[in-house]
A and B are shown apart, each in its own frame.
Chain A
């Protein structure tokens, strides 16, 4: 199983809403990632979890709150987002180290209205 599953695939939310993005993998990977991708741009790293602990926060605004409840699950909690936060949010997982590929989910297309 080389699959990373993200839900939901599409999400429309108002600026006062609270919502969560979910990501799941069963490949035994101990590193999990959130990336944000705007249209026609490369993915930009947001957060990295290693062994279920947050190891990297790329200066992401606090309205984005990650959570890693166990080694298979990764959540991204959203609150009071802005329209400019509309993007494709990609989850990925990998083994640790520089020479291993990351597997990506299909992403959640988020629209903030």
Chain B
């Protein structure tokens, strides 16, 4: 069964510092996609970054980068130069096959990040 594990319920980081949010996954499928989403208190889930199982390089999107270690089945999110607006819940997720023709996101339990001045 496909499973996502986030072991850090809460993290603190000072403004302008970098922070790493951990994510490990379990799947026997050779083809999979890993995603990170940000959820501020307003509720919207905001897509941040994607890593495919066959991608040779780690994904990067602006201040977000993904430290993908396939052999260890980990996909940690690195946020550089943290800003106060980065305070939010962060979810790691995997697209898993569902039913006959579909895929859906399975989410980890999330990590609450608080950026302090």
Cβ contact within 8 Å between B98 and A48: yes
B14 shortest CB reach to chain A, Å: 24
B42 shortest CB reach to chain A, Å: 7
Cβ contact within 8 Å between A42 and B91: yes
Number of B positions contacting A (CB below 8 A): 30
Complexed CA–CA distance, A5 and B37 (Å): 18
- Is A64's CB within 8 Å of the partner chain B? no
Select from chain B the residue with minimum beta-carbon distance to A44.
B107
B37 shortest CB reach to chain A, Å: 8
Number of A positions contacting B (CB below 8 A): 26
30 intermolecular pairs with C-beta atoms under 8 Å apart: A31-B102, A33-B104, A41-B109, A42-B107, A42-B108, A42-B109, A42-B110, A45-B106, A48-B98, A50-B101, A50-B102, A55-B98, A55-B101, A56-B102, A92-B45, A98-B103, A99-B31, A99-B50, A99-B52, A100-B33, A101-B35, A101-B47, A102-B47, A104-B44, A104-B45, A104-B46, A104-B47, A106-B42, A106-B44, A107-B43
